[in-house]
Amino acid sequence: MRHDTSPRVGIPRSTVPPLCSTALTLAGAGAGRTAVVIGCPNGVEATALLGLGWTVIGIDEDPEVHERVRAAADVAALDRLTTVVGTLPRMSRLPDADLVLTRTALLGDAGPTLWPRVVEALRPGGLLAARLTATSAGLLRGWALLSERYSGPTLEVVARRP
């Protein structure tokens, strides 16, 4: 298993959280691909993905977040950005995606219950970049673990769906 040693991806490392930076490095350019970002309070992940050509669906429960994300995005990329007011527990289904990025949605007791929604959304070969607990990390059996980073009580992973 490899720990997070990812290089920069053209975005100052200090502005992009390590989990997102690793996912961007492993996923590469997004031309024709879709990323779902669950929880995007400051828009850093969404704008970084847009900068690499991804179509991005940002999901957050705070309507004001969506305005901040749109304001931070390059005007030329706005046609590839969709924002949705909501949370994973309140959504019956996620949009189909080549990458799902979430820092908190799978943490806590509800994580294993929400797991099927994430798996259903990811296309075969798609990447999951997520924080997991020791309990929910077992859900990755059969997945290709591309990167892992321990951060306190959580494990940050990037894994490829079979």
Q: C-alpha angle with apex 11: 33 to 137, nearest 5 degrees?
A: 60
Q: 19-36: string of b/e by CB count within 10 Å (b at 16+)?
A: bbbbbbbbbeebeebbbb
- Above 70 in pLDDT, residue 13? no
Which pLDDT value is given to residue 109?
78
Q: Which residue has the higher pLDDT, 151 or 73?
A: 73
Q: What does the mean pLDDT of the chain come to?
A: 87
Amino acid at 113: T
Which pLDDT value is given to residue 54?
97
Which pLDDT value is given to residue 95?
95
Partners of 148 in the beta sheet? 3, 157
Pairwise CA distance, residues 21 & 135, whole Å: 25
Q: Over the stretch 107-133, which tens digit does the pLDDT of each residue have?
A: 877 888 888 999 999 999 999 999 988
* Domain boundaries along the sequence of the chain: 13-160
Q: Over the stretch 57-114, which tens digit does the pLDDT of each residue have?
A: 999 999 888 888 888 888 999 999 999 999 888 898 999 999 999 988 878 778 888 8
Residues in the chain: 162
**What is the CATH T-level fold of the domain 13-160, as seen in this structure?**
Rossmann fold (3.40.50)
Angstrom CA distances, 88 to 4, 35, 42, 70, 76, stand at 26, 15, 18, 21, 28
